[in-house]
């Protein structure tokens, strides 16, 4: 088991606009606010969801329809000088069918999304919080 301990630092609340890439924007907010270790969660809507299921091998999927984000949570970490964001997402369609997995770039905000990022101060050696993405 690995863990780090720290204190809560900044809390950032953001409203994402239509057309923004959810994961890229979360990472950009962390960079701009200099958050190198923390957690995030999001709610809102997507017009495109891009994610994958991890095992037995990554199988990325792209869904292009109006979707509601029912859960999205992840971690912010830093490897070398790069800010990394690793998240999981669950979305539902208009038929109330739920699907989800590891969040990938290419998940596009529809009407809007709200993101909360909570910084962990004094949390060092956090690069292991990140899981490499599948394409």
- CATH code, 71: 3.30.1330.80
> How confident is the prediction for the chain on average, in pLDDT?
91
The single-letter DSSP state of residue 129 is G
Q: Which two tokens stand for residue 31?
A: 């960079």
The reply to whether 63 falls in a domain is yes
The reply to whether 2 falls in a domain is no
- What lies within 8 Å, CB to CB, of 60 at 6+ separation is 50, 51, 52, 104, 134, 135
pTM for this model (two decimals)? 0.90
Structural domain boundaries enclosing 86: 9-120
The reply to whether 125 falls in a domain is no
Determine the pLDDT at residue 56. Answer: 79
Percent of the chain with pLDDT over 70: 90
Please compute the mean of the pLDDT values over residues 117-131 and round it to a whole number.
74
The reply to whether 132 falls in a domain is no
pLDDT digits (tens, 9 = 90+) for 62-97: 999 999 999 999 999 988 889 999 999 999 999 999
Number of domains in the chain: 1
């Amino acid at each position: 088991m690995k863990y780090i301990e720290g204190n809560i630092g900044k809390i950032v609340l953001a409203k994402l606009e239509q057309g923004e890439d959810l994961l890229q924007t979360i990472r950009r907010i962390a960079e701009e606010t200099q958050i190198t270790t923390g957690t995030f969660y999001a709610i809102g809507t997507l017009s495109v969801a891009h994610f994958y299921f991890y095992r037995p091998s990554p199988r990325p999927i792209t869904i292009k329809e109006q979707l509601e984000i029912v859960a999205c949570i992840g971690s912010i970490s830093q490897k070398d000088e790069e800010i990394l964001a690793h998240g999981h997402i669950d979305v539902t369609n208009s038929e109330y069918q739920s699907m989800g997995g590891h969040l990938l770039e290419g998940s596009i905000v529809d009407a809007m999304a709200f993101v909360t990022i909570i910084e962990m101060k004094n949390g060092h050696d956090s690069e292991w919080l990140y899981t490499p993405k599948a394409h």
